[in-house]
Amino acid sequence: MLFNLLSAGPIIFFIFAIGLVIAITIHEFAHAWMADHLGDPTPRVQGRVTLNPLAHLDPMGTIALLLVGFGWGKPVEFDPYNFKHRTRDSALVAFAGPASNLILAVILAVLIRGFGLGDNVLGLAFVLILQINVSLAIFNMVPVAPLDGEKILYAFLPKDIAYEYRQFMRQYGLFVLLFLIFPIIGGRSAISSLISPVIAIVMALLLGN
């Protein structure tokens, strides 16, 4: 990933790096804001209800994103026992992250299409940042712990199935995720094969091509 970006030129690399910082910051801020809004003071106490990137970036996770295309921000901690409806509100906190990235992607798409951007540096930057946000949102919706999709799916499952699902994910979720992101088929990972068509469809809907 890093080699590909550098070979594309310093401008592309710079835009990609800035886009990652923006996407991760928006994503983690949305988690923190939603938890705070629903009654849990933990994110505010920890200084996470802010758009300051330094509060949300994990150094190793950011480096991993640049090197291999997979990484992470600093997870937002929250206490579901401070919510009125633990399962539902936990799912809302989880969904807030991907939703914020999609909202930003829609805003960028409106600007790109409304002002006819696309053949200049600004248009290129907007398209690349849009794609980063769409990719982050779709990736995080995969229902495997520790991704957001796990908490969202848990809220919709019947109680007995949800309990078994949660127990399995607590024990094996990380191993399942690592298996999914490990390249095994033609140099592509299973998760890439799964979400790439979805990303392409969302991009086409937003950009109109």
CA 79 to chain centroid = 21
Residue 145 · residue 174 · CB < 8 Å? yes
Residue numbers of the domain that contains 160: 2-207
Q: Residue 97: its pLDDT value, please?
A: 97
Contact 42, 34 (CB under 8 A): no
Query: Rounded mean pLDDT of the chain?
Result: 88
Which residues have a catalytic role annotated?
Answer: 28
Mean per-residue pLDDT, 186-194? 81
How many domains does the chain divide into?
A: 1
Percent of the chain with pLDDT over 90: 64
The pLDDT value given to residue 3: 44
**b or e along 33-72 (b: 16 or more beta carbons within 10 Å of the residue's beta carbon)?**
bbbbebebeebeeeebbbeebebbbbeebbeebbeeebbb
Between 9-13, 130-134, 159-163, 187-191, the lowest mean confidence (pLDDT) is in 9-13
